[in-house]
């Protein structure tokens, strides 16, 4: 899961490669709208992170941008600030479209956009699967300036002609590698075909596999590239270790031992099947752990409550 951008990991200068030389080391120097600047500081930011110093200005200036950045680098605020600067708050129409691979990430992005744009009189709507289609249609007819969502629902709303694209200025793909690996390639390509030719594209991805590079080649024009060097992709603020467990049936006891020896206040445990998620939840609950399970078979309302 993506972490909140407030806990930023600073990336040393030598670990970033870019074909764009301009670096802006303060939000005050970015010539942002006063109400946007107020929202940035109210959100808790004091100075831009390394990615923000390099990516916000080229996006605002109209360049297509590829930013290779993981969660914790300030990427969500990077494209949120850029989008909010570019939109006309007096125009009730979608001007910035943000696509994310999961419902939860889309909702998280929506919260960031709304929070940073708190003083701008803008609307941001989340279009995600598992929610009422008619509610989406009603909200989109009201003309939110920013729309964020998952590929399937976004594509559906455009095809139904309730998500209008004629005023679109900026199309943002967040976690593009994750999105394409989940099988959304065809839907992403279809969305591109339905947007005006003049639409500016910003793509964010932790890695740059071949399918992501193909998107950049087909749909982006002379993009600014801001790439974290491959050996530095792992966030320095996260310590990683693994435990070699020889048998599947030993994993539960090993996990319990970890909780008894390490102070863990909050954790996310990933399993490779939905059935395993339910099984592990039952086992941990039986051992008096406070556990909530979440997977794709659940209704969106259940997932919202858990989050």
pTM to 2 decimals? 0.74
Are 101 and 68 part of one and the same domain?
yes
Give 172: exposed, middle or buried? Use CB within 10 Å, 0-12, 13-18, 19+. Answer: buried
Count up the domains in the chain and report the number: 2
Question: Range of 263's domain?
Answer: 248-306
202 and 261 housed in the same domain? no
pLDDT at 153 over 60: yes
- Amino acid 65: pLDDT: 95
Binned at pLDDT 50, 70 and 90, residue 1 comes out as: very low
What's the DSSP call for residue 8? P
Whether residue 266 sits in one domain with residue 125? no
| pLDDT confidence of residue 110 | 96
Please check whether residue 98 is in contact with residue 136, taking contact to mean a CB–CB distance below 8 angstroms: no
Residues 184, 286, single domain; the answer is no
Residue 18 has pLDDT above 70, yes or no: yes
3 state DSSP class of 73 = coil
The pLDDT > 90 percentage for the chain reads 53
3-state secondary structure of 279: helix
Pairwise pLDDT comparison (235 vs 75), residue with the higher score: 75
Residues 72-88 pLDDT 10s? 778 899 999 999 999 99
Instruction: Show which of 200, 232, 264 is a domain's final residue.
Output: 232
DSSP conformation letters of 177-213: HHHHHTT-HHHHHHHHHHS-TT-EEEEEESS--HHHH
Alpha carbons within 13 angstroms on the beta-carbon side of residue 238 total 14
Q: Residue 6 — very low, low, confident or very high, per pLDDT cuts 50/70/90?
A: very low
What are the tens digits of pLDDT across the range 161-180?
999 999 999 999 999 999 98
Residue 242 located in a structural domain: no
pLDDT of residue 192: 93
Give domain status of residue 241, yes or no: no
What one-character DSSP code corresponds to residue 172?
E
| Average pLDDT for the chain | 86
Please check whether residues 66 and 162 belong to one and the same domain.
yes
Give the pLDDT confidence of 188-210 residue by residue, as tens digits.
999 999 999 999 999 998 888 88
Give me 167's structure tokens.
């005023």
Report residue 228 as tokens: 């974290």
Please report, for the domain that includes residue 39, its CATH number: 3.40.50.300
Question: In this predicted structure, what is the pLDDT of residue 231?
Answer: 46
């Amino acid at each position: 899961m993506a972490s909140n951008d407030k806990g930023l990991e600073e990336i040393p200068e030598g670990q970033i490669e870019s074909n764009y030389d301009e670096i802006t080391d303060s939000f005050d120097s970015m010539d942002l709208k006063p109400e946007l600047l107020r929202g940035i500081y109210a959100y808790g930011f004091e100075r831009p992170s390394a990615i923000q110093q390099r990516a916000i200005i080229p996006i605002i200036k109209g360049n297509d941008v590829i930013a290779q950045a993981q969660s914790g680098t300030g990427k969500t605020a990077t494209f949120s600030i850029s989008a909010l600067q570019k939109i006309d708050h007096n125009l009730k129409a979608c001007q910035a479209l943000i696509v994310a691979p999961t419902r939860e990430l889309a909702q998280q992005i929506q919260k960031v956009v709304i929070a940073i744009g708190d003083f701008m009189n803008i609307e941001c709507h989340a279009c995600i699967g598992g929610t009422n289609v008619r509610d989406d249609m009603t909200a989109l007819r009201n003309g939110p300036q920013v729309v964020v969502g998952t590929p399937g629902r976004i594509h559906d709303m455009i095809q139904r002609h309730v998500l209008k694209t004629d005023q679109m200025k900026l199309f943002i793909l967040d976690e593009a590698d994750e999105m394409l690996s989940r099988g959304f390639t065809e839907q992403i390509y279809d969305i591109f075909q339905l947007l005006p030719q003049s639409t500016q594209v910003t793509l964010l991805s932790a890695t740059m596999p071949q399918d992501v590079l193909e998107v950049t080649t087909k749909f982006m024009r002379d993009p600014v590239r801001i790439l974290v060097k491959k050996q530095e992709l792992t966030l320095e603020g996260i310590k990683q270790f693994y435990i070699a467990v020889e048998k599947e049936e030993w994993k539960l006891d090993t996990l319990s031992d970890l909780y008894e020896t390490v102070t863990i206040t909050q954790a996310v445990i990933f399993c490779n099947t939905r059935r395993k998620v339910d099984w592990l939840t039952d086992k941990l609950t039986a051992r008096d752990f406070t556990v909530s399970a979440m997977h794709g078979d659940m209704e969106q309302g259940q997932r919202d409550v858990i989050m």
